[in-house]
Amino acid sequence: MPNYRYTARDHRGQAVNGTLVAPSPDALADELKRKGYLVTRFQPVPERASQAPGRSWLPRRRLRTDDLVMLNIQLAKMVQVGIPLTTALDTLGRQAEQPQLQALMADLARTVEGGSSFSEACTRHPEAFSPLFVNMIRAGEASGKLEEILRRLAVLAKRQAELRQQLITALTYPAALVVFGLVVCTFLIVGIIPKFMTIFTEANVPLPLPTLILYRVSVVLRAAWLPLLVAAAFLPPLVARLLRIRAVRRAADAALMRVPVLGDLVRKAALCHMAQTLGTLFASGVPVLESLEIAEHTCGNLVIAEGLSRVRASVQQGGSIAEPLRADPVFPPMLVQMVSVGEGSGTLDTMLEEMAAHYEELVQHGLKRVMALVEPVLLVVMGGMVALIMASVLLPLFRMVNVIKS
């Protein structure tokens, strides 16, 4: 989108200068009017001029969670004690260790010093700052509670990172066990079975069915190992590309939520993320429709996102949040009831934060239960596969011994 340099008047009649990214001049005027400014002059900024020095070194992906948490905490402290925002950003840039983060902080400081707000500066870097971050910063600027919003963002990012890390940690051991088991079984099938088959064939030993099946598998693996290896290398990026298709992603999310035990855990994790996001946005003063739209795009599950889309449509038409939630089976009755009570009492943000903490505890207990169930099942399955391979070798050996004796 083009970047505009503008001159405007605030409600006191004072001149205000700055830059703002907008799809069109009308959108620029509407955005500034929403902020309480009356545009008097504007002009597009050339592409090269709109890019600050060092822009090529700016991060191409979102900030790491640790960096974002520390940025929020440090900014909140510095703003709270009265340090100007530009000075705080410049200080954080100079003390950052990563060159990309240094360039990003320097560009933010220059943009804010040029007359733009912090939220406007962040919108120039969508690859680093999410819509959740930008909207909450905008709400903090409007309410004069920027340091409080930054603290809320730090807490939110930390909680979501901890939950994500717990999920990754819980899945690491089963994944390692599966990979190790597959490597061992592949080695036995490809490297051991063919050697014994040569001995059995020369001795004219009748082969049992398990041995014949594994021998056929071994022949296929030995003959087509290169195409299979290439297919295995291209499978993850192919699956990732397919999951970018909305219909495929939606079907995958729905199927995953129907998996026994694991599906309930996935749903609770998505609901926890949704409640954390909405609770923080509502408490920060972000408008309801914007909050619902942000939660819809960040909840991580298209089934729940579609439910939030219906909620947003209901709110646009003057309806409540609880009613469309009640009509959707993906949202539990307890969550619906808490939202209904929160709407009626004006404490919706508190209720959502309570539900987020509740679902976070449920996810933690669910992870422990899943791990207690998955680990022995995987051990039994891997042990069964190894036992089948060993039986396919030992049974012909026993028959060969009987042939030799007879």
Please write the tens of the pLDDT for every residue from 146-170: 788 888 877 777 777 787 787 788 7
Cα(289)–Cα(111) distance, rounded to whole angstroms? 28
- Which pLDDT score is estimated for 52? 40
- Which pLDDT score is estimated for 1? 55
- Which pLDDT score is estimated for 58? 46
pLDDT digits (tens, 9 = 90+) for 348-397: 999 998 998 899 899 888 888 887 888 788 888 888 888 888 888 888 88
- Which pLDDT score is estimated for 10? 64
Q: What is the mean pLDDT of the chain?
A: 81
CATH number of the domain at 156-406, out of 1.10.3660.10, 1.20.120.520, 3.50.50.60, 1.20.81.30?
Answer: 1.20.81.30
Find out whether 257 and 329 touch, Cβ atoms under 8 Å: no
pLDDT digits (tens, 9 = 90+) for 97-119: 777 788 888 888 888 887 788 88
DSSP per position, 73-84:
HHHHHHHHTT--
What percent of the chain clears pLDDT 90, i.e. is strictly above it? 9
pTM above 0.85, yes or no: no
DSSP per position, 282-333:
HHTT--HHHHHHHHHHHSS-HHHHHHHHHHHHHHHTT--SHHHHHH-TTS-H
Q: What percent of the residues of the chain are helix, what percent strand, and what percent coil, each to the nearest 5?
A: 75, 5, 20
- Which pLDDT score is estimated for 337? 92
Of residues 195, 199, 374, 161, the one with CA closest to residue 276: 161
Going by pLDDT thresholds of 50, 70 and 90, the confidence category of residue 2 is low
pLDDT digits (tens, 9 = 90+) for 59-105: 445 567 677 777 778 888 888 787 888 888 888 888 877 777 888 88
- Which pLDDT score is estimated for 55? 41
Token look-up 């948490």 returns: 69
CA 327, 328, 329, 332 dihedral sign is negative
Q: Where are the domains of the chain?
A: 1-50, 156-406
DSSP per position, 220-260:
HHHHSHHHHHHHHHHHHHHHHHHHTSHHHHHHHHHHHHTST
| 338 DSSP assignment | H
Going by pLDDT thresholds of 50, 70 and 90, the confidence category of residue 21 is low
Task: Tell me the two tokens of residue 54.
Answer: 């060092």
* 204 to 27, 196, 209, 379, 404: CA distances (angstroms): 84, 12, 15, 36, 11
Lowest mean pLDDT among 139-153, 208-222, 299-313: 139-153
Ordered strands of the 38-45 beta sheet = 15-21, 3-9, 38-45
